[in-house]
Amino acid sequence: MSAPDSPAIPLPLIFGPFDPSGASHLPIDAVICAGLGAHAGSVATAIHVQDTAGTETIQRLAPDLVDDQARCLLEDMTIGALKIGPQYDPETISTLAQIAADYSALPLVLQLCAPPPVPDLEDLDPEETIGAMLELLVPQAHLVVVDDRLPEQWAGQGLLSSTRADDPIGALHELGAPLVLCCNATLGPGLNGLILHARGQAGRRWPWPAPRVRTGDAESLLATVLCCLLARGLDPDEAIPQAVTSATALLARHFHPGMGQRILLHAAS
């Protein structure tokens, strides 16, 4: 039996950890997508034990389970774009890279970040995890979103090309990423913002408010909004300015439900 006709609703697919507090990652990503008129598919790659104050433990899910869940959704729905959020081990990253390769026609928004310092990840070398992201996922990304400080830090650790140690963004371009959107970049004295680096072009800049929420992962919020817009069929030149405007508005609404950080207010006011 064929599926009934339905409106053309954008269908992003998001890979990342599950945060039970609803402050970040898959739960809030799904809500953000809904607010933008999209329906998010979710593939959990890890489960956090955490509250609004911080993460206590992380349980990584088996890569085979991640692969099975992703392919079920990709074979069932007309997914329009992919977002890969924080990942914690090379084996899962390798699985995601194969999925991305098999669906290379879909725009991929890659959020680059360092693994958090929690006991569950002590059996893993964080440099191996970062190296796997750079080697396997960056070459397939249509757009990389990253905190401005990380590429320089990784270049200093020798994780980016030694021949481009003085130009870590150039090194990301050489790895294959055509667009790199840096968060928390210095635009001037006392002014932070966003810089979009396109290969062979001058960087585009936008101011960015000093948020009271998502202060540690503004790049995740931007990556989710961008994935929704790309799933709608926009090209990056159209999507990025719209994402900046939408994300800025989202950051303005927040509340304080627990003893830790404030989180985005996504309920009706």
- DSSP assignment of 97-122 equals HHHHHHTTTS-EEEEE-PPP--GGGT
| The pLDDT of residue 216 | 61
| The pLDDT of residue 4 | 52
Closest CA to 41 of 210, 222, 228: 228
Amino acid at 191: L
| The pLDDT of residue 120 | 82
Q: CA-to-CA distance for 46 and 124, rounded, in angstroms?
A: 15
Q: CA-to-CA distance for 253 and 154, rounded, in angstroms?
A: 33
Domains and CATH numbers, the chain: 12-264 (3.40.1190.20)
Question: For 137-153, how does the pLDDT look when each residue is reduced to its tens digit (9 = 90+)?
Answer: 999 999 999 999 999 99
Q: CA-to-CA distance for 267 and 15, rounded, in angstroms?
A: 24
Model pTM score: 0.93
Name the band, by pLDDT with cuts 50, 70 and 90, for residue 258: confident
Question: What is the chain's mean pLDDT, rounded?
Answer: 89
**Which of 43-47, 79-83, 207-211 shows the lowest mean pLDDT across its residues?**
207-211
Name the band, by pLDDT with cuts 50, 70 and 90, for residue 58: very high
| The pLDDT of residue 54 | 81
| The pLDDT of residue 269 | 44
CB atoms within 10 A of CB 260: 14
DSSP notation for 133-187? IIIIIGGG-SEEEEETHHHHHHHHTT-S-GGGTT-HHHHHHHHT-SEEEEEEEEE
